Structure 1
Protein backbone atom coordinates (compact mmCIF):
# COMPACT_ATOMS: atom_id res chain seq x y z
CA UNK A 1 0.00 0.00 0.00
CA UNK A 2 1.48 3.38 -0.96
CA UNK A 3 0.15 5.22 2.10
CA UNK A 4 3.25 5.86 4.17
CA UNK A 5 2.13 7.77 7.23
CA UNK A 6 -0.83 9.61 8.74
CA UNK A 7 0.06 12.67 10.80
CA UNK A 8 -2.59 12.68 13.52
CA UNK A 9 -1.15 14.30 16.65
CA UNK A 10 0.53 17.69 16.94
CA UNK A 11 1.14 19.47 20.22
CA UNK A 12 0.45 22.78 18.47
CA UNK A 13 -3.05 21.78 17.29
CA UNK A 14 -6.12 20.32 18.98
CA UNK A 15 -7.00 16.67 18.44
CA UNK A 16 -8.99 16.03 15.28
CA UNK A 17 -12.37 14.29 15.32
CA UNK A 18 -10.94 11.15 13.70
CA UNK A 19 -9.18 12.43 10.57
CA UNK A 20 -5.47 12.90 9.81
CA UNK A 21 -3.88 16.34 9.53
CA UNK A 22 -1.80 15.00 6.65
CA UNK A 23 -1.11 11.74 4.81
CA UNK A 24 2.12 10.96 2.98
CA UNK A 25 2.29 8.54 0.05
CA UNK A 26 4.62 7.14 -2.55
CA UNK A 27 3.72 6.16 -6.10
CA UNK A 28 0.82 6.97 -8.39
CA UNK A 29 -2.21 8.95 -7.19
CA UNK A 30 -5.68 9.53 -8.65
CA UNK A 31 -7.93 12.55 -8.24
CA UNK A 32 -11.49 11.23 -8.17
CA UNK A 33 -14.30 13.52 -9.27
CA UNK A 34 -17.00 14.49 -6.81
CA UNK A 35 -19.74 11.93 -6.34
CA UNK A 36 -23.34 12.68 -5.42
CA UNK A 37 -26.27 10.48 -4.42
CA UNK A 38 -27.37 9.01 -7.74
CA UNK A 39 -28.17 5.41 -8.59
CA UNK A 40 -26.91 3.55 -11.68
CA UNK A 41 -29.71 5.10 -13.74
CA UNK A 42 -28.77 8.63 -12.69
CA UNK A 43 -31.76 9.12 -10.38
CA UNK A 44 -31.33 11.02 -7.12
CA UNK A 45 -31.27 8.81 -4.01
CA UNK A 46 -32.35 9.92 -0.54
CA UNK A 47 -33.88 13.27 -1.42
CA UNK A 48 -34.06 15.36 1.82
CA UNK A 49 -32.07 12.68 3.73
CA UNK A 50 -28.43 13.66 4.32
CA UNK A 51 -27.52 10.27 5.79
CA UNK A 52 -28.91 8.37 2.79
CA UNK A 53 -27.24 10.77 0.37
CA UNK A 54 -23.88 10.50 2.13
CA UNK A 55 -24.13 6.70 2.06
CA UNK A 56 -24.95 6.67 -1.69
CA UNK A 57 -22.24 9.21 -2.56
CA UNK A 58 -19.66 7.11 -0.67
CA UNK A 59 -20.96 3.96 -2.38
CA UNK A 60 -20.48 5.62 -5.77
CA UNK A 61 -17.03 6.83 -4.75
CA UNK A 62 -16.13 3.31 -3.64
CA UNK A 63 -17.10 1.93 -7.07
CA UNK A 64 -14.61 4.33 -8.68
CA UNK A 65 -11.89 3.58 -6.12
CA UNK A 66 -12.30 -0.19 -6.54
CA UNK A 67 -12.10 0.18 -10.33
CA UNK A 68 -8.74 1.89 -9.82
CA UNK A 69 -7.55 -1.20 -7.95
CA UNK A 70 -7.64 0.58 -4.60
CA UNK A 71 -9.80 0.58 -1.48
CA UNK A 72 -10.72 2.84 1.44
CA UNK A 73 -7.31 2.39 3.06
CA UNK A 74 -5.74 3.98 -0.03
CA UNK A 75 -7.74 7.21 0.19
CA UNK A 76 -5.41 10.10 1.02
CA UNK A 77 -7.95 12.91 1.28
CA UNK A 78 -11.66 13.60 1.09
CA UNK A 79 -13.18 16.93 0.16
CA UNK A 80 -16.81 17.29 1.19
CA UNK A 81 -19.20 19.89 -0.20
CA UNK A 82 -22.41 20.35 1.80
CA UNK A 83 -25.36 22.69 1.83
CA UNK A 84 -25.48 22.80 5.63
CA UNK A 85 -22.21 22.41 7.55
CA UNK A 86 -24.11 22.21 10.85
CA UNK A 87 -25.07 18.66 9.80
CA UNK A 88 -21.44 17.48 9.75
CA UNK A 89 -22.06 14.86 12.45
CA UNK A 90 -24.43 12.98 10.15
CA UNK A 91 -21.69 12.85 7.51
CA UNK A 92 -19.11 11.72 10.08
CA UNK A 93 -21.42 8.98 11.36
CA UNK A 94 -22.06 7.55 7.90
CA UNK A 95 -18.40 7.93 6.90
CA UNK A 96 -17.33 5.99 9.98
CA UNK A 97 -20.00 3.34 9.47
CA UNK A 98 -18.54 2.70 6.01
CA UNK A 99 -14.81 3.26 6.60
CA UNK A 100 -14.26 1.78 10.09
CA UNK A 101 -14.53 -1.86 8.90
CA UNK A 102 -11.81 -1.17 6.31
CA UNK A 103 -9.56 1.11 8.40
CA UNK A 104 -9.92 -0.40 11.86
CA UNK A 105 -8.10 1.84 14.36
CA UNK A 106 -6.31 3.88 11.67
CA UNK A 107 -7.40 7.53 11.49
CA UNK A 108 -9.53 8.58 8.54
CA UNK A 109 -7.83 10.30 5.61
CA UNK A 110 -7.11 14.02 5.61
CA UNK A 111 -10.40 15.84 5.11
CA UNK A 112 -11.90 19.20 4.21
CA UNK A 113 -15.56 20.14 4.47
CA UNK A 114 -16.93 23.22 2.72
CA UNK A 115 -20.43 24.67 2.92
CA UNK A 116 -21.65 25.74 -0.53
CA UNK A 117 -24.71 27.58 -1.82
CA UNK A 118 -25.66 24.84 -4.29
CA UNK A 119 -24.53 21.52 -5.74
CA UNK A 120 -24.96 19.78 -9.11
CA UNK A 121 -28.75 19.67 -8.72
CA UNK A 122 -31.23 21.13 -6.24
CA UNK A 123 -32.01 17.68 -4.80
CA UNK A 124 -28.42 17.07 -3.64
CA UNK A 125 -27.25 17.83 -0.09
CA UNK A 126 -23.67 16.49 -0.23
CA UNK A 127 -20.88 15.77 -2.70
CA UNK A 128 -17.59 14.04 -1.92
CA UNK A 129 -14.38 13.79 -3.90
CA UNK A 130 -11.17 11.96 -3.07
CA UNK A 131 -7.48 11.73 -3.72
CA UNK A 132 -6.40 8.08 -3.83
CA UNK A 133 -2.96 6.44 -3.65
CA UNK A 134 -2.98 3.63 -6.21
CA UNK A 135 -1.40 0.41 -4.89
CA UNK A 136 1.71 -0.65 -6.83
CA UNK A 137 0.05 -3.88 -8.02
CA UNK A 138 -2.76 -1.79 -9.57
CA UNK A 139 -0.63 1.06 -10.92
CA UNK A 140 -1.10 0.03 -14.54
CA UNK A 141 -4.76 1.13 -14.37
Structure 2
Protein backbone atom coordinates (compact mmCIF):
# COMPACT_ATOMS: atom_id res chain seq x y z
CA UNK A 1 0.00 0.00 0.00
CA UNK A 2 1.39 3.44 -0.89
CA UNK A 3 0.81 6.47 1.36
CA UNK A 4 2.43 9.78 0.41
CA UNK A 5 4.97 7.94 -1.73
CA UNK A 6 5.97 5.55 1.07
CA UNK A 7 5.28 1.85 0.97
CA UNK A 8 3.52 0.32 3.96
CA UNK A 9 5.07 -3.07 4.56
CA UNK A 10 2.76 -5.63 6.07
CA UNK A 11 3.61 -9.30 6.14
CA UNK A 12 0.70 -11.68 6.47
CA UNK A 13 1.36 -15.21 7.71
CA UNK A 14 -1.81 -17.21 7.06
CA UNK A 15 -0.61 -20.25 9.03
CA UNK A 16 2.70 -20.47 10.91
CA UNK A 17 4.37 -23.88 11.08
CA UNK A 18 2.40 -26.20 13.33
CA UNK A 19 -0.78 -24.06 13.27
CA UNK A 20 -3.81 -25.18 11.27
CA UNK A 21 -4.65 -22.82 8.39
CA UNK A 22 -7.73 -20.62 8.69
CA UNK A 23 -9.87 -19.82 5.68
CA UNK A 24 -11.15 -16.45 6.87
CA UNK A 25 -8.12 -14.72 8.44
CA UNK A 26 -4.33 -14.63 8.78
CA UNK A 27 -2.93 -15.96 12.05
CA UNK A 28 -0.17 -13.32 12.12
CA UNK A 29 0.28 -9.88 10.55
CA UNK A 30 3.55 -7.98 11.02
CA UNK A 31 4.02 -4.29 10.32
CA UNK A 32 5.97 -1.23 11.32
CA UNK A 33 4.71 2.33 11.38
CA UNK A 34 1.95 4.37 12.98
CA UNK A 35 -0.72 2.41 14.83
CA UNK A 36 -4.40 3.21 14.17
CA UNK A 37 -7.15 1.93 16.48
CA UNK A 38 -10.77 2.19 15.33
CA UNK A 39 -13.41 1.76 18.02
CA UNK A 40 -16.11 -0.81 17.53
CA UNK A 41 -18.49 0.36 14.82
CA UNK A 42 -22.22 -0.24 14.87
CA UNK A 43 -24.88 -0.14 12.14
CA UNK A 44 -25.62 3.56 12.51
CA UNK A 45 -25.86 6.00 9.63
CA UNK A 46 -24.30 9.47 9.76
CA UNK A 47 -27.39 10.77 11.58
CA UNK A 48 -27.11 8.10 14.28
CA UNK A 49 -30.07 6.10 12.98
CA UNK A 50 -30.02 2.30 12.96
CA UNK A 51 -29.57 0.72 9.53
CA UNK A 52 -31.10 -2.71 8.94
CA UNK A 53 -33.11 -3.55 12.03
CA UNK A 54 -33.15 -7.36 12.24
CA UNK A 55 -31.13 -7.62 8.98
CA UNK A 56 -27.59 -8.90 9.58
CA UNK A 57 -26.46 -8.26 5.99
CA UNK A 58 -27.62 -4.63 6.02
CA UNK A 59 -26.06 -4.04 9.43
CA UNK A 60 -22.76 -5.62 8.33
CA UNK A 61 -22.59 -3.43 5.21
CA UNK A 62 -23.17 -0.29 7.32
CA UNK A 63 -20.61 -1.38 9.91
CA UNK A 64 -17.94 -1.83 7.21
CA UNK A 65 -18.86 1.49 5.61
CA UNK A 66 -18.38 3.14 9.01
CA UNK A 67 -15.04 1.36 9.41
CA UNK A 68 -14.00 2.60 5.94
CA UNK A 69 -14.86 6.18 6.90
CA UNK A 70 -13.01 5.95 10.22
CA UNK A 71 -9.93 4.49 8.56
CA UNK A 72 -10.02 7.24 5.92
CA UNK A 73 -10.11 9.88 8.67
CA UNK A 74 -6.74 8.49 9.83
CA UNK A 75 -5.35 8.33 6.28
CA UNK A 76 -5.75 4.55 6.20
CA UNK A 77 -7.60 2.04 4.04
CA UNK A 78 -8.62 -1.57 4.54
CA UNK A 79 -5.24 -2.51 3.00
CA UNK A 80 -3.63 -1.21 6.20
CA UNK A 81 -5.83 -3.24 8.57
CA UNK A 82 -3.89 -5.81 10.60
CA UNK A 83 -6.65 -6.99 12.99
CA UNK A 84 -10.44 -7.11 13.05
CA UNK A 85 -12.50 -8.13 16.07
CA UNK A 86 -16.11 -9.11 15.46
CA UNK A 87 -18.65 -9.05 18.28
CA UNK A 88 -21.89 -10.76 17.23
CA UNK A 89 -25.02 -11.58 19.18
CA UNK A 90 -25.45 -14.80 17.19
CA UNK A 91 -22.77 -16.72 15.26
CA UNK A 92 -25.39 -17.13 12.52
CA UNK A 93 -24.60 -13.49 11.62
CA UNK A 94 -20.99 -14.32 10.69
CA UNK A 95 -21.71 -15.18 7.01
CA UNK A 96 -23.15 -11.66 6.59
CA UNK A 97 -20.12 -10.17 8.34
CA UNK A 98 -17.72 -12.16 6.13
CA UNK A 99 -19.61 -11.11 2.98
CA UNK A 100 -19.40 -7.43 3.95
CA UNK A 101 -15.71 -7.83 4.78
CA UNK A 102 -15.10 -9.47 1.38
CA UNK A 103 -16.47 -6.34 -0.33
CA UNK A 104 -13.55 -4.38 1.19
CA UNK A 105 -10.74 -6.87 1.82
CA UNK A 106 -9.63 -9.46 -0.76
CA UNK A 107 -8.77 -12.98 0.38
CA UNK A 108 -5.05 -12.42 -0.27
CA UNK A 109 -4.97 -9.49 2.21
CA UNK A 110 -6.89 -10.95 5.15
CA UNK A 111 -5.97 -9.47 8.53
CA UNK A 112 -5.76 -11.33 11.80
CA UNK A 113 -9.25 -11.68 13.27
CA UNK A 114 -11.29 -12.85 16.23
CA UNK A 115 -15.01 -13.50 16.43
CA UNK A 116 -16.74 -13.27 19.80
CA UNK A 117 -20.35 -14.17 20.52
CA UNK A 118 -21.75 -11.74 23.06
CA UNK A 119 -24.96 -11.79 25.09
CA UNK A 120 -25.82 -8.33 23.83
CA UNK A 121 -24.51 -4.98 22.68
CA UNK A 122 -25.24 -1.46 23.89
CA UNK A 123 -28.75 -1.58 22.38
CA UNK A 124 -30.73 -4.78 21.75
CA UNK A 125 -31.34 -4.00 18.06
CA UNK A 126 -27.61 -4.12 17.27
CA UNK A 127 -26.61 -7.52 15.89
CA UNK A 128 -22.86 -6.85 15.60
CA UNK A 129 -20.00 -4.51 16.33
CA UNK A 130 -16.60 -4.57 14.60
CA UNK A 131 -13.36 -2.89 15.67
CA UNK A 132 -10.21 -2.52 13.57
CA UNK A 133 -6.50 -2.00 14.06
CA UNK A 134 -4.31 -0.73 11.24
CA UNK A 135 -0.66 0.18 10.69
CA UNK A 136 0.41 3.14 8.54
CA UNK A 137 3.95 3.78 7.33
CA UNK A 138 6.17 5.44 9.93
User: So what's the TM-score if we normalise by structure 1?
Assistant: 0.87
Query: How many pairs are equivalent?
Result: 132
Structure number with higher strand proportion:
2
User: So what's the TM-score if we normalise by structure 2?
Assistant: 0.88
Of 62, 66, 76, which aligns to 1:70?
A: 76
Matches within 5 A, 1:121-140: 121-136=123-138
Gaps in structure 2 of 5+ consecutive residues: 1-6
What is the CA-CA distance between 1:87 and the residue it aligns to?
2.9
What is the CA-CA distance between 1:17 and the residue it aligns to?
1.4
What residue number does 2:98 align with? 92
Whether the aligned pair in 2 keeps the contact of 1:3 and 1:23 (CA below 8 Å) is: no
| RMSD of aligned alpha carbons | 1.4
What residue number does 2:20 align with? 14
Whether the aligned pair in 1 keeps the contact of 2:93 and 2:127 (CA below 8 Å) is: no
Gaps in structure 1 of 5+ consecutive residues: 137-141
Counterparts of 2:17 and 2:31, CA distance in 1: 23
